[in-house]
Amino acid sequence: MSSLIEDALNLQSVSKPRSMGIKLIVICVLALLMNIPGFFVQGLLNDRISHNSPVIQHPDGSSAFATVDYYQSVDRSLKYILLFEGLVFLTYFTFEVTSKKRMHSAQYVLVGVAQVIFYLLLLSLAEKIGFDYAFLVAGGATVVLLSTNAGWIFASRIQGLRALATFSPLYGLIYVLLRLKDYALLVGSIASFVAVAMAMYFTRRIDWDGSLPALENEPTTHVSPVPKGAS
């Protein structure tokens, strides 16, 4: 009886760390949740269209809004928000598991917020300077922020440069998709396939059942088992 109590004390004193596989599932859920603010941006866009777009009167007496070109471009970019939220999160997770440095879930949320603000910047700047220049400014600022953030999180300038080399073509891909009306779906599908394939390659040797590394400021507690026969 006493041996069972001692074994129970040993089990309760040791907390099992979360595996990397579970962390990936959590990140996927966060990417889905961060898509919710995109509906707010979409509602704001619809409101701007109704207030700033000219009204066309049809011969039958009906009327409709003539959507301005840059509003159409912003609207199309919002349709890819979930795709690029997921790709950016996947990139950060790949950095996390390959660098063996843990990234908190709250930091993933901040990354998602930065991407949502990108669309707000794109909408507000497009009304003033046009869509092309607005995308250059908003996209460039977001890429620099995300890359700098990666350098801060992983405490590595090299990792920040890798993030810059990854996010620059990613946001460039968004712009290309918005300009390729007939082939946007095809190019987007191929790019997503390539991104997942690269993630599989770089994480091929990872033990998904293994535990994540502890946070730098997280104390590591070593618990000695209760010796048999101790009173």
pLDDT tens figures, 61-105: 454 444 457 777 788 778 778 888 888 888 888 888 877 788 888
pLDDT level of residue 58 (50, 70, 90 thresholds): very low
The number of beta carbons lying within 10 Å of the beta carbon of residue 128 is 9
pLDDT level of residue 196 (50, 70, 90 thresholds): confident
8 Å CB contact between 87 and 166: no
pTM score: 0.71
The model's pLDDT over 138-166, given as tens digits with 9 standing for 90+, comes to 999 999 999 999 999 888 888 889 889 98
Give me the mean pLDDT over the 199-228 stretch: 60
Give me the mean pLDDT over the 93-121 stretch: 86
